[in-house]
Structure 1
Amino acid sequence: MREIAAGLAEWRAAGLRFAIATVVSTWRSAPRPPGAAMAVAETGEVLGSVSGGCVEAAVYELARTVLETGTPVLETYGVADDDAFAVGLTCGGTIEVLVQPDTGLPDRVLSAIREGRAIATASMLDGGDGPGRRLHVPADGPLDGFDRVVADQAAGMLAAGATGVVALGAQGRRVFVQSFAPPPRMIVFGAIDFAAAVSRIGAFLGYHVTVCDARPVFTTRRRFPDADEVVVRWPHEYLATTEVDARTVLCVLTHDPKFDVPLLTEALRSPAGYIGAMGSRATHDDRMRRLRAAGVPETSLARLRSPIGLDLGARTPEETAVSIAAEIIAATWGGTGHPLTGLEAPIHRSAAPIRR
């Protein structure tokens, strides 16, 4: 829902009512993951998507009904039958969609989502009071009984950046927890033209992008307008003092030993989920010798992706940035990096080793 949060805020500021449809679970080859959202305003305007087009019309009508009744609805959409106009997913999957009125979405929650602050929403999917009852973590107020159990589960999933359905209680009541963790970080080291292209594609992919280099003449906001932060500092010193977690991506584009060796020594001690370094094969071999001489163990060196990126035949900074982004995406979702043609593995992975 983060991608439509700004539009929802505009609707609310204009006094418009709306309903939000959210994918809560999927089976087989569903086109959108849990958490994908589509909103419908009372004017008929639409934001977002839940299926890439397969069932949008049916969800639109359901959202209009929820706007009229104010009652949340849980609906399942599966494989279309022989009728070409049947409601279903042409990809062969199944999705479960929860449609809720906007009255359950407080302004403070919408603001937190827009601003990238950590918050989670928990929605009941079944039970005596029907689907759709919402709880927010941090909580709106005092909790007791079952709500406390839900809040604790949601808090744990928020800490892990996880979104999905959990079963709680002796009767296995289902709750959909959607986590809105702060955007993952991408730190690009080396103020070169390739870094400008990588920062641009990193921002496009939803990362909080920082560009860092020790040379102030090159490390300027004007040269890196797409970065969230531009830092003039020795890279290894900056990395040692900034926050890095398992979702963090580190792109080392300096290919200069005086920067690379201390920086990569620090990077390979960090919990960063992706660490890549640019350079030729000869540069890579020399870099590995220097890192070994610096005492970096082989188990740590095995984490380094060097030369950085997938083999796309890239030449320009922009093409190279696509190559690097492709490798990051493959590492995030467990992809092979091979053409889908001829592969029988699922197109959409269900687990994210780096980012959830």
Structure 2
Amino acid sequence: MDGIHEILKEIHTSPSEEDVIATIIRVEGSAYRKEGTSLLFRRDGTKVGMLSAGCLETDLYCRVPEIIEQRKTRTIVYDLKAEDDLSWGQGAGCNGVISVLLEPVDAFLREHLCKLKFHLDRGNRVTIIKKLADDYSVSDYLYIADNHDLFGKWHGGVPVFMKELISEVHKTYPKSGIIYCSELSANLYIHSFEPKPRLMVFGAGMDAVPLVKLASITGFYVIVSDWRSSLCNEEYFPNADQHIVGFPEETVKKINFTKSDSVLILTHHFQRDKELLHHLRNRELMYLGVLGSKTRTERLLGGKEIPPEINSPVGLPIMADGPEEIAVSIVAELIQRQREKRSEEVISL
């Protein structure tokens, strides 16, 4: 994940005139993170997000006061290719050149970032276009949401070809970065922000706790549902974004499922699992998994063979043992499925 959701939350809940956003806009060779990854610097030293394994953050933070004082954007280039300790490679030998854009968050940008959060929270993908000057500072920027809402700071009218350009970018997902636009005679930085993928966890047992925590940390919007209010609450699942209390027939009606959603059934209650599987098996989902053995899942299906749209057992085959390792295997499979699905969508375009 590119870290934008945590950054937007911080800016929205705790606004400041002394914030600076650092974004990787170009990578030549290999690097720890890719184009589109962002980090928020706050004047008090707080950082939200991560750009590297620690190689760049200290130097970037030293530049924050200057960026705040001058109120101008600036791009810093780091050459991490060298393997000696006297260069930016710092002996790591990462074999990459990274360009990082630093932007002060003024009132206008903060307003637009809050609008970006509004769209992402409602499931809309938003693409940013930044027009770069010769020194790679930002002269104009424009956000375009999937629902065609446009906002930003763009001088003059928005060219018609912009939407065609966005369409081409979406076809080449996940490529983000800098391209030259002959129509504008300028370089453009382009990146698409994706809404958080949703994960519904049916079952609030203790083994769901590490699963929900790990899924949340890795960028999922997590919903926990269970009929036991004593378990399905913020005390037991502080990392969950939403808690829905009720029996299967009640809760599935409260959720608007989409083909981008992942669902896990792990109530450890045979009848409840059976009811959930009955309500969910014919829905178009990104992932539907049932915790337990293949034999148990076949029993849930009345002895029928498990269809390909139902994953059982769940998780990557890493011989996981215990709730924490099982959580790792499941979340890894969910991430893998997300990446595979996006690749398939690009190929089909």
The 5-angstrom pairing of residues 161-310 of structure 1 reads 164-165=176-177, 167=179, 169-171=181-183, 173-214=186-227, 219=232, 222-235=235-248, 238-239=251-252, 242-254=255-267, 256=269, 258-287=271-300, 290-292=303-305, 301-310=307-316
> Structure 1's 130 and 324: CA in aligned 2 closer, same or farther, altered over 3 A?
closer
Report how far residue 302 of structure 1 moved. 1.7
Q: Distance in 1 between matches of 2:153 and 2:33?
A: 35
Look up the match of 2:330. Answer: 324
Q: Deviations over 1:58-99 (max 9, x none)?
A: 434555554454442334433332542212463223333222
Report how far residue 4 of structure 1 moved. 3.2
> Structure 1's 58 and 235: CA in aligned 2 closer, same or farther, altered over 3 A?
same
TM-score in terms of structure 1 length: 0.72
Question: For 2:189, what is the secondary structure of its paired residue?
Answer: strand
> Structure 1's 269 and 166: CA in aligned 2 closer, same or farther, altered over 3 A?
farther
Q: Deviations over 1:147-194 (max 9, x none)?
A: 554467559979x99672364754585433344444221101123222
The number of residue pairs the alignment matches comes to 329
> Structure 1's 259 and 111: CA in aligned 2 closer, same or farther, altered over 3 A?
same
Instruction: Give the root-mean-square deviation of aligned CA atoms.
Output: 4.1
Question: For 2:211, what is the secondary structure of its paired residue?
Answer: helix
Q: Deviations over 1:205-256 (max 9, x none)?
A: 3322222234667655554444332223443664466223343221111355
Report how far residue 322 of structure 1 moved. 2.7
Report how far residue 50 of structure 1 moved. 1.9
Q: Distance in 1 between matches of 2:31 and 2:267?
A: 40
Q: Match for 2:141 among 121, 124, 134? A: 134
Q: Distance in 2 between matches of 1:209 and 1:266?
A: 20
Question: For 1:318, what is the secondary structure of its paired residue?
Answer: helix
Contact persistence 2:29–2:96 (CA under 8 A): yes
Question: For 1:193, what is the secondary structure of its paired residue?
Answer: coil
Look up the match of 1:50. Answer: 51
Q: Which portions of structure 1, spanning 4 or more consecutive aligned residues, are displaced by more than 6 angstroms?
A: 155-158, 160-163, 351-354
Q: Distance in 1 between matches of 2:64 and 2:309?
A: 46
Q: Distance in 1 between matches of 2:167 and 2:249?
A: 33
Contact persistence 1:213–1:219 (CA under 8 A): yes
Match status 1:22 vs 2:34:
no
Q: Distance in 1 between matches of 2:261 and 2:318?
A: 24
Partner amino acid, structure 2, of 1:165:
G
> Structure 1's 206 and 215: CA in aligned 2 closer, same or farther, altered over 3 A?
same
Contact persistence 1:265–1:291 (CA under 8 A): no
> Structure 1's 290 and 33: CA in aligned 2 closer, same or farther, altered over 3 A?
farther
Q: Which stretches in structure 2 are left out of the alignment for 5+ residues?
A: none
Look up the match of 2:96. Answer: 93
Contact persistence 2:292–2:312 (CA under 8 A): yes
Report how far residue 201 of structure 1 moved. 2.6
Q: Deviations over 1:118-149 (max 9, x none)?
A: 55543123579964522234434797644554
Q: Distance in 2 between matches of 1:40 and 1:226?
A: 24
Report how far residue 44 of structure 1 moved. 6.5
Q: Distance in 1 between matches of 2:267 and 2:331?
A: 17
> Structure 1's 291 and 209: CA in aligned 2 closer, same or farther, altered over 3 A?
farther
Partner amino acid, structure 1, of 2:221:
H
Q: Deviations over 1:36-65 (max 9, x none)?
A: 223445666655432222233443455555
Report how far residue 33 of structure 1 moved. 2.6
> Structure 1's 199 and 45: CA in aligned 2 closer, same or farther, altered over 3 A?
closer
Identical aligned pairs, as a percentage? 24
Match status 1:125 vs 2:132:
yes
Look up the match of 2:110. Answer: 107
Residues 36-45 or 203-212, more deviating: 36-45
Q: Which stretches in structure 1 are left out of the alignment for 5+ residues?
A: 293-297, 335-350
Partner amino acid, structure 2, of 1:209:
V
Contact persistence 1:187–1:249 (CA under 8 A): yes
